[in-house]
Amino acid sequence: MLINPLKAGTGGADRAHIEAVIYEASKGTRFFEEQKRRHARTADRIARLKAHAARVTRSDLAEAEQTIAHRRAAIEAAVLSDVDADGRPRVMVHCDLDAFYASVHEVDEPQWRTVPMAVGGTGGDGVLTTANYVARRFGIRSAMPTWIARKLCPQLAVLDLDFAKYRVAAAKVRTVFSRYDPRFRSASLDEASLDLTPYLAEHPELTPAQAVEAMRAAIHAETGLTASAGIAANTMLAKIASDANKPNGQLLVPFDRLGILAFVGALPVRKFPGIGAVTDHVLDAFGVLTGADIAAQMPFLWTILTPALRDYLLCVSMGVPSGAALPPAPPGASSTPGGDAATRRSGISSERTFKSTASLAFLQAMLRDQCATLADDLRRSRVFARTLTFKIKKESFAVLTRSRSTNGYVRTAGELYRHVEPMLLAVVREHRPPTQWRLLGVRASGLVGENADGMTAGVRVGVRVGGNDGGNDRDDATRDGRRSDAVRRRGGHP
DNA sequence: ATACATACC
DNA sequence: CACTGGTATGTAT
């Protein structure tokens, strides 16, 4: 009613309109109020950093410059050694499918191609998982609540998720990836990271860009889906580049050092994987907007930021994935904030949002449900847990967690519940007058299991080898009881 | 070890 | 009125 929908999302004025609609819709909601509290906390953090910055001396900066110079030298040395067997630099590719879930539905039912459509988010408090590109022109995004999306676009079609369908499509795409790199890695259904070096060695007639064009064409021919890709000297740069010409495009980042520095130097800091909205805001407060700003202000940033963040910034501002050439030093040393895909699973969790309630009986029943779901997942993953974390969210969206490490290892729903129920009772008791709660969940970590996923040696003690895949979970409690002493001695998993 | 915060899909 | 769920990891205490 406010705007011509044909023009929505196509220009600055429409962007302002979209922001206004979102603001008007969310203003005054509990979610919005919680966002404001979080912004206030970030503002506090910035104020503390500025106070700290005011006390930074010349000699602090000089010392930081020394350290940085050494780190830079070490990083460059490590990067120079990152070549294939023949001494050629590696050609890394990051590829991800455009609006994957939505596109899968469009392939099956082409009528969705021309209308605004999104997937997921059914039910009262749902949020959308993906929107097609028609819907995106209205400002609709993944993670947007359905009711706000409908304010932006009343005619939006919202489809149910169909993971079986997505898995089939993803499997087809993976056969294409595997032709280009049989060892490709996927962090999710819709993306992959490939090392194209061996393929290119076998196809000297192809440039990297031509090979990737062909790979994307094959994906399209075999699935009807479009993909975007980035080509670069390392996975981080390739991932950033894959976003640059989306949808259905690709970008090659130069492979020479100066070209790489020019590319990262021009990037807004928010584009670096690991820098999210909060860190972006913090850096912005210090005038750090781009990769070049990071590099230029490195000595100053070094003196005020935490070790993992400053080391991460140093690496990425050089166009190198974080963690390159870490000093011999500390065992728990840094890696990228926000994580990077290629690590084994360290925890499993289950949580659920519900209509806010203060009823303890309801919360207990919900907790039992989550424990049952988690127990199933643990069993399917053939692991046991040593640490349990209880999570609960107030109606106000404030989140509380309580965690406890057990002796021995647990997996059955009953055992999980026995460990976490006291946390629920304690939290509820601490809140007087009674509080309304909107979500609750359980997370299991400190996992130990069978050999799958590179679990530790505790594995063989913890689970009878080949002996528990019969689906008979009835006696888990007994087996846990027998097992715990032996397992306990093994301790110390990474 | 525990609680909370940030990030990514 | 109304804003997910799963996983990883960093920071502070």
Query: Which nucleotide is the nearest neighbour of A100, by CA and C1'?
Result: B9
Same domain, A429 and A469: yes
Contact at 8 Å (CB) between A127 and A159?
no
Gap from A494 CA to C9 C1', Å: 14
Domain presence at residue A142: no
Query: Which nucleotide is the nearest neighbour of A23, by CA and C1'?
Result: C3
CATH classification at residue A276: 1.10.150.810
Domain boundary among A254, A279, A309: A254
Same domain, A175 and A236: yes
| pLDDT computed for residue A307 by the predictor | 95
Domain boundary among A317, A332, A352: A317
Strand B protein footprint, C-beta under 7 A: A 38, 41-42, 45, 143, 187-188, 190-191, 239, 272-280, 337-339, 387, 389, 399-405, 446
Contact at 8 Å (CB) between A216 and A250?
yes
Gap from A44 CA to C10 C1', Å: 19
| pLDDT computed for residue A327 by the predictor | 52
**pLDDT of A292 above 70:** yes
Query: Which nucleotide is the nearest neighbour of A387, by CA and C1'?
Result: B1
Note if A191 is an active site residue.
yes
Instruction: For residues A249 and A254, give the distance between their C-alpha atoms in angstroms, rounded to a whole number.
Output: 17
Contact at 8 Å (CB) between A76 and A216?
no
**pLDDT of A331 above 60:** no
Contact at 8 Å (CB) between A176 and A158?
no
CATH classification at residue A468: 3.30.1490.100
Query: A13 vs A390, which has greater pLDDT?
Result: A390
Same domain, A391 and A294: no
Domain presence at residue A402: yes
A26 touches strand C (CB under 7 A): yes
Query: A83-87, A131-135, A225-229, A331-335: which range is least confident on average?
Result: A331-335
Average pLDDT, chain A: 86
| pLDDT computed for residue A480 by the predictor | 36
Domain presence at residue A487: yes
Cross-strand bridge partners of residue A403: A389
Of A280, A315, A319, A321, the residue nearest A298 (C-alpha): A315
Instruction: For residues A251 and A216, give the distance between their C-alpha atoms in angstroms, rounded to a whole number.
Output: 12
Same domain, A394 and A453: yes
Gap from A389 CA to C12 C1', Å: 18
Query: A79-93, A95-109, A326-340, A464-478: which range is least confident on average?
Result: A464-478
Q: Within 13 Å, how many C-alpha atoms sit on residue A257's CB side?
A: 7
**pLDDT of A404 above 50:** yes
Instruction: For residues A315 and A312, give the distance between their C-alpha atoms in angstroms, rounded to a whole number.
Output: 5
- CA angle in degrees (0–180, nearest 5) for A168-A171-A173: 115
Rounded mean pLDDT, A290-315: 97
| pLDDT computed for residue A10 by the predictor | 52
Gap from A122 CA to B8 C1', Å: 23
Same domain, A379 and A482: yes
Please give the structure tokens belonging to residue A320: 């190198």
Gap from A458 CA to B2 C1', Å: 24
**pLDDT of A334 above 80:** no
| pLDDT computed for residue A364 by the predictor | 98
Rounded mean pLDDT, A289-317: 97
Gap from A277 CA to B3 C1', Å: 22
**pLDDT of A230 above 50:** yes
Percent of chain A with pLDDT over 70: 84
Chain C: bases < 7 Å from a protein Cβ: 1-12
Query: Which nucleotide is the nearest neighbour of A37, by CA and C1'?
Result: B5
Rounded mean pLDDT, A275-292: 98
**pLDDT of A494 above 70:** no
| pLDDT computed for residue A84 by the predictor | 74
| pLDDT computed for residue A465 by the predictor | 28
| pLDDT computed for residue A481 by the predictor | 31
Nearest residue to B8, CA vs C1'?
A: A338
Query: Which nucleotide is the nearest neighbour of A128, by CA and C1'?
Result: C4
Nearest residue to B9, CA vs C1'?
A: A188
Nearest residue to B6, CA vs C1'?
A: A338
Query: Which nucleotide is the nearest neighbour of A96, by CA and C1'?
Result: B9
Same domain, A477 and A358: yes
Of A164, A152, A150, the residue nearest A122 (C-alpha): A150
Domain presence at residue A432: yes
Rounded mean pLDDT, A444-468: 51
The strand C neighbours among A residues 51-90, by Cβ under 7 Å, are: none
Query: Which nucleotide is the nearest neighbour of A390, by CA and C1'?
Result: B3
Q: What range defines the domain where residue A277 resides? A: 56-81+263-317
Please write the tens of the pLDDT for every residue from A60-107: 999 999 999 999 999 998 887 777 777 778 999 999 999 999 999 999
Same domain, A193 and A96: yes
Contact at 8 Å (CB) between A94 and A238?
yes
Domain presence at residue A226: yes
Gap from A420 CA to B2 C1', Å: 14
Instruction: For residues A142 and A154, give the distance between their C-alpha atoms in angstroms, rounded to a whole number.
Output: 17
Domain presence at residue A448: yes
CATH classification at residue A215: 3.30.70.270
Chain B: bases < 7 Å from a protein Cβ: 1-9
Domain boundary among A229, A254, A279: A254
**pLDDT of A328 above 80:** no
| pLDDT computed for residue A78 by the predictor | 85
Domain presence at residue A43: no
Rounded mean pLDDT, A264-289: 98
A30 touches strand C (CB under 7 A): yes
Number of domains in chain A: 3
Region at A232 (left for phi over 0; alpha for psi -120 to 50; beta for the rest): beta
Residues A329, A334, A340, A343: is their CA dihedral positive or negative?
positive
**pLDDT of A27 above 70:** yes
Gap from A345 CA to C8 C1', Å: 9
A346 touches strand C (CB under 7 A): yes
User: What is the secondary structure of A444-460 as a DSSP string?
Assistant: EES-EESSGGG--THHH
Same domain, A272 and A396: no
Contact at 8 Å (CB) between A214 and A200?
no
Same domain, A361 and A459: yes
Please write the tens of the pLDDT for every residue from A175-216: 999 999 999 999 999 999 999 999 999 999 999 999 999 999
Rounded mean pLDDT, A365-381: 98
Rounded mean pLDDT, A426-443: 97
Gap from A349 CA to C11 C1', Å: 22
Nearest residue to C5, CA vs C1'?
A: A351
For the range A147-153, what are the long-range contacts, defined as Cβ-Cβ under 8 Å and sequence gap of 24 or more? A147/A25, A148/A21, A148/A22, A148/A25, A148/A26, A149/A118, A149/A121, A151/A21, A151/A25, A152/A8, A152/A18, A152/A21, A152/A22, A153/A5, A153/A8, A153/A116
Same domain, A430 and A312: no
Query: A243-257, A301-315, A336-350, A467-481: which range is least confident on average?
Result: A467-481
Same domain, A477 and A449: yes
Same domain, A277 and A395: no
Rounded mean pLDDT, A280-285: 98
Domain presence at residue A169: yes
Active-site residue, selected from the candidate residues A106, A191, A415, A450: A191
Residues A405, A411, A414, A416: is their CA dihedral positive or negative?
positive
Kindly report whether the peptide bond that precedes residue A494 is cis, defined as omega within 30 degrees of 0. no
